[in-house]
Amino acid sequence: MTDAPSMIEIEGLHKHFGSLHVLRGIDLRVAKGEVICIIGPSGSGKSTLLRCINHLEVAEAGRIRIDGQTVYRDEVNGSMRSHSNRAISAVRAQVGMVFQQFNLFPHLTVIGNIIEAPVHVLRRPKDEARRRALELLAQVGLSDKVDAYPEELSGGQQQRAAIARALAMDPKAMLFDEATSALDPELVAEVLTVMRDLASRGMTMVVVTHEMNFARQVAARVIFMDHGQIVEEGEPRAIFGAPREPRTREFLRTVLDR
Amino acid sequence: MELLNPEIAAANIGPLFAGLVMTIELTFVVILLSLVFALLVALGGMSRFRPLRWLVKAYIEAIRGTPLLLQLIYIYYVLPEIGIRLNSFVAGVIALTLNYSAYLSEVYRGGIQAISKGQHDAAAALGMTSGLAMRRIILPQAVRIVIPALGNYFIALFKDTALCSVISIQEVVFTAQIIAARNFQYFTLYTIVGIMYFTVSFPAARLVGYLERRMRAGYRRKLR
Ligand SMILES: Nc1ncnc2c1ncn2[C@@H]1O[C@H](COP(=O)(O)OP(=O)(O)OP(=O)(O)O)[C@@H](O)[C@H]1O
Ligand SMILES: [Mg+2]
């Protein structure tokens, strides 16, 4: 994977919340078509890292490149200059994100949710956006829920609709922040199946998850984070089979021996 | 003392009804203007531009800190002294719109702030600018939340238009006053006026109650 071109490159990322140093120098590279899973204890900064990748949180230091382009800000003569809001939005339009709480738009139907951004951000014609939305709904198994409102759906169905909504932008990469953590146990599998399917279609994915089996089976690389740093990374076999770092071992012991 | 005198009632119902029509006209004009103006005030109050926020805050406090009656009198009687002469209807519309917009903007603000951060995040993550997200995602949900509160304010407005009698807008109370000054039939005249207000307010309040129940039912394909 290492010689494939990069989709996401992060260098020296730092983020504070007030006096709390949440990301302490993150370096991470995700190749095109690669699936990585980020694991780690609560509060280790996993969500914050994902949110920095699409600028929902603003890192104070460090550089992010997406598909070769430096995004969100540039260094000009030694000082940082932020990109315009419009430029930032344009980058976000190329990176899909799936949230723990789904965050579907409750006032729009399922198809309304999916065509909203293609029509109003990408300015695609409505019928073309609808056609693509119906394909995506078939892909995530929601062809019978096209005109339903989000609150008429189960959690698993809502999350699959949210995935379809992100995919409708034809993103270069997808970020998943604990996409299954808010779901009843019996609904987790249907969402993981959709994510697996997406991985097999070659989507670049950064997945924050507590589903260790998913990480083991789908990820090309697993990243273990603790206290705002990447403590250890490697192939799932190595991380789960023979973790080098004591902190990784301890974390895996707590999550696997429940 | 004669209570509700049918002859007096029949003789004056025409002018009183015309007064009621004026009351309703005034109410609707102010509703339309304040729906829009209050939204602009609410957005201004949340602007990133600090002087605009201050201006909005000062305006809201000034309105809330003084009586509506005084605001009416001020716009109609005091402004001409600095060369701004308005007819009574326009003065009434301006005073009521300024007054109600101050309160309604707070209602809007509450509705906008009630929309979860997750909605903003989801919109932003799809590449929407904050303006587009406000227009397409936040406001439609916020407006729906505030519809019952707006409705209650508009019923209060309908009744508050009676204050415009002091600047001699020919609404229903002013009309009754003029007739009563001639024939001294206070009881009959003001009872009719009371019935007229109630006949409009009561169904309006029921409608607001219905909208509130519908809103609480959430977003569904078949609203019941
Ligand atoms: N908006 C915020 N303001 C202040 N502190 C925050 C904010 N968001 C996160 N934090 C703090 O930053 C730290 C990292 O949070 P983050 O959500 O990134 O952790 P996480 O690894 O995703 O945890 P979890 O597994 O519980 O989701 C935590 O201590 C959290 O309390
Ligand atoms: Mg998290």
Sequence spans of domains, chain B: 6-223
CB contact under 8 A, B218 and A151: yes
Look at residues A209, A90, A104 and name the one whose alpha carbon lies nearest to residue A163.
A104
Instruction: For chain A, give the mean pLDDT.
Output: 94
Tell me if B132 and A120 make a contact (CB, 8 A cut-off). yes
Q: Which of B128, B171, B111, B224 is nearest to A118 (CA)?
A: B128
Distance of CA B56 to CAs B43, B59, B74, B91, Å? 10, 5, 20, 21
> Are A101 and B221 inside 8 Å of each other by CB?
no
Interface of A with B (CB under 8 A): 51, 54, 56, 85-86, 89-97, 99, 101, 103-107, 116-117, 120-122, 147-152, 162, 165-166, 169
The ligand minimizing its distance to the Cα of A23 is: 1
Dihedral sign for Cα atoms in the order A171, A172, A177, A178: positive
Ligand 1 nearest atom to the CA of residue A100, by list position: 27
Nearest residue to A59 (alpha-carbon basis) of A93, A91, A82: A82
Cα–Cα distance for residue pair B15/B111, rounded to 1 Å: 41
* B140: nearest Cα among B106, B108, B97: B108
Q: What angle do CA A151, A154, A156 make, to 5 degrees?
A: 125
CB contact under 8 A, B127 and A107: no
| CB within 8 Å of B5: residues ≥ 6 apart | B185, B187, B188
pLDDT tens-digit map of B175-216: 999 999 999 989 999 999 999 999 999 999 999 999 999 888
The answer to whether residue B224 scores a pLDDT higher than 60 is no
Contact B127 A150 (CB under 8 A): no
Average pLDDT value for residue range A241-257: 91
Mutate to test the interface with B, among A102, A121, A149 (most CBs of B within 10 A): A121
SS3 sequence of chain B:
CCCCCHHHHHHHHHHHHHHHHHHHHHHHHHHHHHHHHHHHHHHHHCCCCHHHHHHHHHHHHHHHCCCHHHHHHHHHHHHHHHCCCCCHHHHHHHHHHHHHHHHHHHHHHHHHHCCCHHHHHHHHHCCCCHHHHHHHHHHHHHHHHHHHHHHHHHHHHHHHHHHHHHHCCCCHHHHHHHHHHHHCCHHHHHHHHHHHHHHHHHHHHHHHHHHHHHHHCCCCCCCC
What distance in Å separates residue A227's CA from the closest CA in chain B?
24
Candidate from A26, A38, A42, A251 with most ligand 1 atoms within 8 A of CB, to mutate: A42
Q: Is the CB of A42 under 6 A from ligand 1?
A: yes
Inter-axis angle of helices B139-160 and B6-45, nearest 10: 140
Residue pLDDT, tens place only, B151-184: 999 999 999 999 999 999 999 999 999 999 999 9
- Quote the pLDDT of residue B4: 79
C-alpha dihedral, A243 to A244 to A249 to A255, nearest 10° = -40
If pLDDT is split at 50, 70 and 90, which confidence band does B221 have?
Answer: confident
Instruction: Express each pLDDT in A12-24 by its tens digit.
Output: 999 999 999 999 9
Measured CA to CA, the distance from residue B115 to residue B145 in angstroms comes to 9
- The tokens describing A102, both together, are 């789904």
Q: Which tokens go with B142?
A: 């916020």
Alpha-carbon distance of A230 to A27, in angstroms, equals 8
The pLDDT value given to residue A2: 56
How many beta carbons lie within 10 A of that of residue A99, not counting itself?
24
Q: Is the CB of A46 under 6 A from ligand 1?
A: yes
Q: Can you say how many angstroms the Cα of residue B168 is from the centroid of all Cα atoms in its chain?
A: 19
How many angstroms separate the alpha carbon of residue A48 from the centre of ligand 1? 6
Tell me the C-alpha distance between A6 and A25, whole Å. Answer: 19
- In CATH terms, B6-223 corresponds, of 3.40.50.10440, 1.10.3720.10, 1.10.510.10, 2.60.40.10, to 1.10.3720.10
Mean pLDDT of A202-220: 95
Query: Residue A58: pLDDT above 80?
Result: yes
User: Do residues A43 and A247 lie in contact, with contact meaning Cβ atoms separated by under 8 Å?
Assistant: no
